[in-house]
A and B are shown apart, each in its own frame.
Chain A
Amino acid sequence: MGIFRRIFTGRFYVENTGFFLVLFYFLFGIVNGSNLLYYHLGLMTGFLSSWSFLLLVLFLWLLYTLRITGFVIKTLEQSPYSFLYSTMTCMDDKERRGLWLRLQFQMYLPVFVYGLIAAGVGIFRHYYLPAAIIILFNLLMCIWPVRFYEKKLWQPDVFFFTTRFSRWLDRHFVKPPVLYFYYELFTAFPRKIFTTKLWSAAILWLTFFLMRQSDFMDLRALQLGMIGCVLLHTQLMIHHRAFEEIYLPFMLNLPISTLRNYSRVAGFYVLLLIPEIIIIFFQSNHRFTITEIMTAGITGMTMLLLFRVLLYFPRMNAEVHLRWILLIAFVVLFMILGGALWYAVAGMQLVAALIFFRKFREYEPWIETE
């Protein structure tokens, strides 16, 4: 079964070399060699003696497991590995499940070993319950993905975790075009959207933290945080353009007005920032009015729309796009600081609409030639 080990385990460690190097640096590189043992014993005692710390550690281990499952599913979805469906489904059920279990264990091994040592330390220091929880949790992290891989193997068309739900959704819900790119992100590139949202939430948390520290709850500071979130989301735009170029040309034959097409593109970016607006609402704790929160949201959505629409200039590659984004962000920032926010928003909306209505029907992908 060496071929499966090479396809999954081998590729997993090779593709995640950078991740493991950073991890090993933080776990073993930042501490003096002579103190390494005491450092880890202290760390283990820390999470064995504190329930909240233990929860955080278990959450991080869960994230690592999700990284493995994401990798396995992605591999199964790649066309060069489509032969896995026809070969693995021919195997005896018991043999195949055993194989999945071994592969999952091999990829989870670094955490499993660390968890086992921590559990040993726990037993030695009489933290019996946390030690038992760690052992059970680690066993669970090796077992549950097997069921998930089996589901994917027998139902390759299913994108979501729960088969029944996704089939029910397909039967009862017609996907509106405004959600197409969300489906693409959540089904094929979940890590991309989740990390973007995680970093965006972190920026907002930092913004509120700094505002509270200085006791300076000002809309302009909030707008600065929002610009940071917008800049993070721009990484999705080149992908959005490529998705439309590859998969949506058939929609150009549909009798849809340019205004409706504009609403579809704008609608995507309006929906994109809703989680940030919710975060701001709860973080602000009534220190900002609804109008102020909406102002920050509208600024962000307007900037996102303008940045996306810039890509209807066919020669706008990622590098040129970034330059324009930074230039516009600086201009908008100074307009906000100068109290000319609504002029900035109106100007960006006008430019975005003008570019879209002028360029949408004429747009054609540009092939770079060196």
Chain B
Amino acid sequence: MSDPVISLHQVRKHYQDISVLDIPQLELNTGIYWLKGENGAGKTTCMKVMAGLLPFQGDITINNTVNARQHPVQFRRLINYAEAEPLYPAFLTGRDLLQLYFRTKGGEREPILELASRMGVDNFVNNPVSSYSSGMLKKLSLLLAFAGNPAIILLDEPLITIDTRTLEILYDVIRTWHQAGTSFLITSHQPLDPNELSVAGTLTIANRNITLN
């Protein structure tokens, strides 16, 4: 059996006095996973914890070697995250954000710029994000999640807001990136289309814990 791409050990998360996550152990091998759960079950919190956006107790390791606490910079090179409802400072342009991600996440720029062109992001990349519609913002956020050389990409509700043409492109790019070895953790209230993506497992989040089915 191959090494897990991401391992969570004794991961606990509290919002002040309220416990929202308590995951004793979770290991995911390379693949595409669907993370499901009711509203407020903790899907987004779980993703934010994994992506390094929220402090937590416990250990998260990528590729069995890169630990979130011991190697915070290297850890963030290996995990990318696209928010369900992305929010950026109004004055930043798509180009500002792309350059920031290129400079910090590293990796090749060409595939991302090509993807930007396919998704139509290049049409508005020089405008401030304050002028974007929610769909344009979502496209930009999804595009940024593919920057660098991530081992795992977390996509929070990627199927909402975007148009059907972009959805097809997104499914295609997930398949391509996955064939190249990247894993995906995708939250969605709707099941992922089995004709588009073959899911390695379904994760259910309930009672503050995650179980793999």
Contact = CB atoms under 8 A, between A and B. Distances in A.
B181 to A, nearest CB: 19
A173 B149 CA distance: 26
A246 B90 CA distance: 12
A249 interface: yes
A252 B56 CA distance: 14
A370 to B, nearest CB: 14
- Report, as a range, how many residues of chain B touch the other chain: 35 or more
A255 B16 contact: no
Contacts of B96: 174-175
Given A184-B89, A250-B88, A255-B76, A157 B55 contact: no
A253 B106 CA distance: 13
Contact of B16 (A156, A170, A367): A367
B160 interface: no
B76 A187 contact: no
A79 B60 CA distance: 40
A170 B130 CA distance: 13
Interface stretch (A132-140, A216-224, A358-366): A358-366
B80 A253 contact: yes
A121 to B, nearest CB: 46
Nearest to A363: B55
Given A249-B53, A254-B101, A362-B55, A170 B93 contact: yes
Given A174-B99, A247-B89, A361-B72, A254 B55 contact: no
Interface string A220-258: 000000000000000000000001001111101111111
B128 A258 contact: no
Contacts of A249: 48, 53
Interface string B38-54: 00000000001001111
A250 B131 CA distance: 19
Nearest to A254: B104
Interface in A335-370: 361-364, 366-367, 369
Contacts of A174: 95-96, 99-100
Contacts of B54: 364
Contact of A254 (B90, B92, B100, B131): B100
Contact of B87 (A183, A246, A255, A367): A246
B73 interface: yes
A247 B85 CA distance: 12
A256 B99 CA distance: 14
Contacts of A105: none
A256 B73 contact: yes
Most buried by B among A177, A253, A362, A366: A253
Contact of A157 (B89, B100, B127): B127
Interface string A140-167: 0000000000000000110100000001
B171 interface: no
A257 B87 contact: no
Contacts of B25: none
A75 B130 CA distance: 15
A281 to B, nearest CB: 31
Nearest to B93: A170
A170 B127 contact: yes
A287 interface: no
Contact of B55 (A258, A361, A366): A361
A255 B91 contact: no
A180 B76 CA distance: 22
B86 interface: yes
A187 B52 CA distance: 30
Contacts of B95: 170-171, 174
Contacts of B15: 367
B130 A183 contact: no
A193 to B, nearest CB: 14
Contacts of B128: 157, 159, 170
A188 interface: yes
A247 B51 contact: no
Nearest to A362: B55
Contacts of B126: 167, 170-171
Interface string B56-98: 0000000000000000111111011101001111111101100
B89 A255 contact: no
14 contacts: A170-B128, A171-B126, A174-B100, A175-B91, A247-B87, A250-B53, A252-B51, A252-B53, A253-B81, A254-B105, A255-B77, A255-B104, A257-B73, A364-B55
Given A170-B126, A255-B105, 6 more contacts: A157-B128, A174-B100, A184-B91, A250-B53, A253-B80, A255-B75
Interface of A: 156-157, 159, 167, 170-171, 174-175, 177, 180, 183-184, 187-188, 243, 246-250, 252-258, 361-364, 366-367, 369
